Structure 1
Amino acid sequence: MAVKLRKVWVAVHLWIGLLIGPLFVLIGLTGSLLVFDHALDEQLNPGLLLTEGSGTRRPVADVIAAAERSHPEGGTAAAVSRPRVENGVWTVWFPGGTADAPVFTQVLVDPYTTEVRGRRAWGEYTMSIAYKLHFQLLTGRTGQTVVGVGGFLLAASVCSGVLLWWPLWRASWRAAFAVRSGRRRVYDLHKLIGIASAAFLLVIAFTGIYMTFPETSKSVVTAIATPTEEPKDLKSTTSSTAQSITPDRAVEIAKEQIPGAEFDHLHPPQGTDGVYEVALRQPGEPTRSFGRTQVWIDARTGEVLVVRNPHDGTAADAFMAWQFPLHNGEAFGLVGRWVVFAAGLAPAALYVTGFLLWRRKRRSQREHPAEATTSPSPPADTTATAALSGTSA
């Protein structure tokens, strides 16, 4: 029975790796690239994203006004994000396109002079293309579904690999972790890279599945715990005698609600009765690339309408907030990012070593067909011995 079950896991591990392995390689390599997406983007486009200016930064209101004046389609900015680094620029976002094919344009503004450094559409520059390749294979919803299914298959491949490795660990430390010379080296590298990256790949696969199927994932989470819903239908005072507050004042009001929080981004009011939504980031939030603390403010009176503090959220809120920062490693700072970067390279190493093992075995079967048909598989309790003697792949 154990021998038959082992054969099943060998087949699962082999055919998922051979058939779906190239997809794992592509998603893994692009994922490693995206771990440091902002820094790479700045290196690729320094004239657009970095400034040599210094002195006093201009008000947020001036930044938004400069972006709106320069935007060819006109309209009100949908969001404005602070400079990511000290010598970075403001990013002002404008929506466009259609409901079926939305287009989001960035206008990049110098924080010291409010000079517009340039504009670009998300999905048309290098790092955003890499993101669409990673998340949707450049084919929209269909590609996104393929990536999500690939996440399940990656988890199955990792689990089957661990199950095949486990008898080696039970036999001896050397059988489980040794890297030997000669013909055995490729096999040993495959098993060592696999077991070293297994836990990280499972976390990446799980969080990736969650983000690939957000509605389904949220419904599953909601069935277990209750998330905090986004406030709806918030409106500002429409009295003609009320004077609108500035974006900078809205940021000040928001920060007064959460002492110690840092400003991250802001959504200006849309329409005559729109509200400000100010996003802050507090110490202890797992997401470091953007803030999840939100404050909604009446754009006319400055009255605080809603405060959403993630530290006061439900278990469902906390679970959902951890998915993205676990996926790219930022929850654990620079060390976490480098760990995820290395884990993203693992599928490529596993595919190459696994393919070499499969090709060697196929060549051996062609050269010695009688042995391939008459030699039984080693029993489960002798797997470690067979591996050490070089007869197991």
Structure 2
Amino acid sequence: MSTAETVTRTAPAATGAQPGPQSGPQRGYRTLWRWHFYAGLFVIPFLVILAITGTIYCFQPQIEPLLYPHRLIVAPATSPRLEVDALLAKARGAMPAGAVATTARISSRADRSAEFIFRLPDGRKQSVYVNPYDGAVLGMLDVDSRFMQVDRMIHRKLLLGKPGELLMELVACWTLVMIGTGVALWWPRERASLRAALVPDLTRRGRPLWKSVHATLGIWLAIGAFAFVATGLPWTGSWGKQFKALASSVKLGSPPGSWGGLPLHSKVPGQPSEAGAATSHEAASGMESMPGMTMDEMPLPQVPWAVGAVRVPGSPDVGAPGVKPLPLGHVVEQMHADGLTHGYDIALPTSPLGVYTVSYFPADPKLERTVYIDQYSGAVLKDIRYGDYGAVGKAVSYGTSLHMGRYFGVPNQIACAALSLGLAALAVTGFVMWWKRRPRGTLGAPARERGAPPMRAWATGLVVLGIVFPLMGLTIVAVWLVDRVLLRCAGPLAAS
């Protein structure tokens, strides 16, 4: 017996319902409705949170200057900008002893301050903002307490760490179930016209009105919402991380050669290779910007998805007599000569083994770049571009840019906001429908139908979903068990 057959065990006929294809829902309708109900009941509160936080984060470029104008915004001046190393020195002078500069954010906008990120002795990260014209320190912000960072962490993990991250991943997966079952429930049947299915009937009152609005809104949003949720899944901390590793291992994600193709440590003169490797590993475990770390572990605000699993190389000239590290300004000039002038981040080397790591994550995925530069010689150890990605990496890059509202500017932001808030509206209207229908003192799950069809396609879809998303598969089994054991005696309800 299939999964769908099992969950559709017979129930008493709904009051007032007459047999016949035109007087009640089609066979299998209640099975789909029951799964739609469970998916919606679980995701409703979290979907509203995802929608609100996602919409806010989508408009980060417009919101942040309004929140921190005295730190981020400066008056453009006719005088030339100070050298980046002079600005870094000013920022370092404002930090307590023991603070380590980890990241420089490079911007050529005349009205923007220079930003440097430091790791404090207690492990916290602090941004320092400096006027690029006179070197005045404009202020500081705790990186993890910054409004947009808090919003992003709520969106990704509800500020609950790994458990919250897994929970939000489940929410995304169950939202896909909710969308799929919703479309199946909406699909025009019998005498229903397509126009009636696509346009809400505002002449209705009470729950029928809510149902009409919910159904038509859902179908208008279905394709975009499905793509919207799916493009966010590669960034999840559990499945997304494994998916990235799998795509890279079959040369469809990270660029070929990035797994093991770069030196992970340098051989320090006078030491055997094994000792150098041990030194590198020990240093990497306690410091940032170290060789052997993946790009996702680097002190960078964001990196392209396709290079997240790439390991950072080491500087081959480490320890050579008379060799001194190059200043940050040299790297900035080097990148400027190579066509990169604005909107990128540089992870600074914080040990003799480290390299300058340049991460460019623009709105157009085809322009993404990740560059590793030897801190002593200035040699480019690796320059990874969009053309080096595998097919999956390229697809995810485009999906990410669209998901974040970056690819085609403000219209993309508006489209993302409409999808996010539309999903929130679906959650709210679905809750109201349930509340109006729910018998007092019961959960109000739709009744099982008598003589349900096998629905093999639906059962196969659930199995495939559970295999692709193992955590989701466990919850599908859990929901089935709860439905079979705890909710076995759910009473009949009038047809929707």
The secondary structure found in structure 1 opposite 2:187 is helix
Aligned-residue sequence identity (percent) comes to 23
- Are 1:254 and 2:277 matched, yes or no? no
Decide whether the 8 Å contact of 1:109 with 1:116 is kept in 2: yes
Paired position in structure 1 for 2:199: 178
CA contact (8 A) 2:370 2:384 kept: yes
SS in 2 for 1:79: strand
Instruction: Tell me how far 1:236 sits from its aligned partner.
Output: 5.0
Q: 1:223 to 1:159 in 2, by over 3 A?
A: farther
> What is the aligned counterpart of 1:337 among 413, 431, 435?
413
* Aligned equivalent of 1:359, options 435, 441, 451: 435
Q: Name whichever structure is richer in helix by fraction.
A: 1
Q: Which residue of 1 aligns with 2:21?
A: none
In terms of mean alpha carbon deviation, does 114-123 or 321-330 score higher? 321-330
- Determine if contact 1:262/1:281 at 8 Å carries over to the other structure: no
The alignment status of 1:79 with 2:106, answered yes or no, reads no
**Local SS of the residue matching 1:331:** coil
CA distance in 2, matches of 1:86, 1:158: 46
User: Could you tell me how far 1:313 is from its partner in structure 2?
Assistant: 2.5
TM-score (norm. length: structure 2):
0.66
Please report the TM-score for the alignment, with normalisation by the length of structure 1.
Answer: 0.82
Q: What is the CA deviation profile of residues 292-314 of structure 1, one whole-angstrom value per residue up to 9, with x for unaligned ones?
A: 31222222222222211222332
**Structure 2 residue 385 is the aligned partner of structure 1 residue 309:** yes
Task: Quickly say closer, same or farther: Cα 1:179–1:282, change in 2 above 3 A.
Answer: closer
For the 8 Å contact 1:294–1:307, the answer to whether it is kept is: yes
Match of 1:167, SS state, is coil
- CA deviations on 1:314-353 (whole Å, 9 max, x unpaired) are 2243134334323212123221111111111123211222
- 1:323/1:170 CA distance change after superposition, 3 Å: farther
- Distance in 1 (alpha carbons) for counterparts of 2:161 and 2:97: 25
Deviation at 1:41, TM superposition (A): 1.9
Q: Is the 8 A contact 2:231 2:396 kept in 1?
A: no
Shift in Å, 1:376: 9.8
SS of structure 1 residue aligned to 2:410: helix
Sort the Cα spacing of 1:16 and 1:113 in 2 relative to 1 into closer, same or farther, 3 A: same
Q: 1:229-269 CA deviation, whole Å, 9 max, x = no partner?
A: 23544215343434543322212323444x47645121223
* Structure 2 counterpart of 1:175, one-letter code: A
What stretches of structure 1 of length at least 5 have no aligned partner?
Answer: 367-371, 380-390
Are the structure 2 counterparts of residues 241 and 125 from structure 1 closer, same or farther at C-alpha, using a change threshold of 3 Å?
closer
Worse-matched range after superposition: 311-320 or 130-139: 311-320
> What are the equivalent positions in structure 2 for 1:1-393 lying under 5 Å apart?
3-55=26-78, 56-83=80-107, 86-96=110-120, 103-167=124-188, 171-180=192-201, 181-183=203-205, 184-212=208-236, 213=238, 214-222=240-248, 224-226=250-252, 227-228=254-255, 229=258, 230=310, 232-235=312-315, 237=317, 238-257=319-338, 259=339, 262=342, 264-280=344-360, 284-285=364-365, 292-362=368-438, 393=496
Task: Measure how far apart 1:59 and its partner are.
Answer: 1.6
Larger RCO, structures 1/2 (Cα 8 Å, 6+ apart): 2
The one-letter code sitting in structure 1 at the alignment partner of 2:374 is D
Work out the number of aligned pairs and report it.
366
CA distance in 2, matches of 1:261, 1:107: 21
Instruction: Tell me the C-alpha RMSD between the 2 structures.
Output: 3.2
Are the aligned partners of 1:79 and 1:266 in contact in 2 as well (CA < 8 Å)?
yes
Structure 2 CA distance for partners of 1:315 and 1:46, relative to 1, 3 Å: same
- Partners of 2:354 and 2:375 within 8 A in 1: yes
Residue 199 to residue 90, structure 1, CA distance change in 2 (3 Å): farther
163-172 vs 341-350, which moves further: 163-172
